[in-house]
């Protein structure tokens, strides 16, 4: 469909007595823009192993920042799924290296804690990342749940497990129950479908999976689980439970990444998720996988007629300022699923007005 509304055009709308003036409309290609972000893992600041180019993990992380700074308008944020520091030697010094890197980033970075990043008595993670051990980030209808827990002793040469506290379990299940229809993207350092199986362990027996908690979580709308930990191992696949599982290569140097510098570029659409693995040394796309999955990405084509138009605006206006339980409330008009139809819905529709979803 040929666009008749171009970037920079200003709309003036009158909705149920509310005048909205000078709202910029941005059109990206021929479809509603996806939610795009970058996933990296295992930076392990302070590591000393060199890659084939003669660089260690800290240099590689700074190179990633330099590249991403130049294209920061093409993605929303960066996810770093744990093992931020190397863990061997001085943790204080390693976290200072992370601070230098974070200050060099012209984009938002959200972190999950890994087994190298301190423990319950060393709150380096919270102090240096500004993140909690477990928290949720909501972006355009997608809930990113960052889970922490703590490490238990190794069960084989390649594996550690992740034990969640009762407080974290209760918090996360309450969070899921509060938004039962929303898509959740779990970010946790330890895989659940990795080379060594599921790392969600019980507190009583550190060799068995915490099946009750895991199954309770998986009863909800889990869109993806992204992780790291296994260093040279890399796998992106669709779980038998229907969620995308991203087990990413590490930024730090290991046998699998000595000749490449990998990142994952992720795009969430309404009806699919695309994951592209990119080697920043060559700017080569190593692989791209697309998974057909339904998501709760905010999409303002409420009546599903193939374009964001005046009929979508009318639907929002009819439910204006209504909340769940009120007769005027329309769940379809509540684009971001926050329980109220308000200025956020109006902004979403206006920004994408005229686009093909």
For 88-134, the pLDDT digits (tens) are: 778 889 999 999 999 999 999 999 999 888 766 678 999 999 999 89
134-to-76, 252, 305 alpha-carbon distances in Å: 21, 24, 39
For the beta sheet containing 200-201, the strands, ordered from the edge strand earlier in sequence to the opposite edge, are: 150-156, 159-163, 200-201
Residue partners of 168: CB distance under 8 A and separation at least 6: 133, 134, 147, 148, 149
Contact at 8 Å (CB) between 86 and 116?
yes
Q: Which of 293, 305, 279, 203 is nearest to 243 (CA)?
A: 293
Pick the CATH number of 35-291 from 3.60.21.10, 3.20.20.220, 2.40.100.10, 3.40.640.10: 3.60.21.10
Token digits of residue 293: 């999955």
Residue partners of 139: CB distance under 8 A and separation at least 6: 35, 76, 77
pLDDT at 22: 33
Contact at 8 Å (CB) between 251 and 64?
yes
Model pTM?
0.80
Domain extents in the chain: 9-31+305-351, 35-291
Coil, helix or strand for 205?
coil
Contact at 8 Å (CB) between 117 and 125?
yes
pLDDT at 355: 59
> What is the C-alpha R_g of the chain?
22
Q: Which of 34, 105, 40, 43 is nearest to 68 (CA)?
A: 105
pLDDT at 19: 41
Fold of 9-31+305-351: Type 1 dockerin domain (1.10.1330)
Parts of the chain with a pLDDT under 50: 1-30, 155, 157-158
pLDDT at 205: 64
């Amino acid at each position: 469909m040929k666009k008749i509304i171009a970037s920079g055009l200003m709309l003036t709308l009158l909705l149920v007595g509310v005048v909205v003036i000078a709202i910029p409309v941005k059109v990206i290609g021929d479809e509603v823009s996806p939610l795009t972000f970058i996933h990296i893992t295992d930076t392990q600041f302070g590591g000393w192993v060199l890659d084939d180019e003669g660089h260690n993990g800290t240099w590689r992380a700074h190179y990633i920042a330099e590249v991403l700074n130049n294209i920061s308008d093409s993605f929303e944020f960066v996810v770093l799924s744990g093992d931020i520091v190397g863990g061997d030697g001085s943790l204080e010094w390693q976290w200072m290296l992370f601070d230098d890197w974070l200050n060099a980033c012209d984009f938002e970075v959200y972190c999950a804690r890994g087994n190298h990043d301190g423990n319950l008595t060393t709150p380096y993670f919270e102090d240096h990342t500004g993140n909690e051990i477990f928290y949720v980030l909501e972006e355009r209808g997608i809930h990113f749940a960052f889970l922490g827990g703590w490490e238990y002793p190794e069960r084989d040469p390649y594996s550690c497990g992740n034990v969640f506290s009762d407080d974290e379990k209760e918090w996360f299940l309450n969070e899921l129950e509060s938004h039962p229809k929303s898509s959740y993207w779990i970010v946790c350092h330890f895989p659940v479908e990795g080379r060594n199986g599921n790392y969600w362990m019980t507190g009583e027996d550190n060799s068995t999976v915490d099946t009750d908690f895991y199954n309770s979580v998986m009863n909800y709308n889990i869109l993806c689980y992204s992780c790291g930990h296994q260093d040279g191992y890399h796998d992106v696949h669709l779980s038998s439970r229907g969620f995308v599982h991203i087990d990413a290569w590490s930024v730090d140097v290991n046998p699998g990444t000595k000749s490449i510098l990998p990142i994952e570029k992720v795009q969430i659409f309404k009806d699919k998720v695309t994951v592209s693995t990119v080697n920043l040394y060559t700017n080569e796309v190593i692989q791209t996988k697309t998974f057909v999955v339904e998501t709760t990405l905010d999409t303002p084509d409420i009546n599903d007629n193939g374009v964001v138009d005046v009929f979508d605006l009318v639907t929002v206006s009819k439910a204006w300022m209504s909340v769940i339980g009120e007769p005027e409330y329309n769940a379809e008009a509540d684009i971001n699923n926050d329980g109220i139809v308000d200025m956020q819905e109006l902004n979403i529709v206006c920004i994408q007005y005229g686009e093909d979803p």
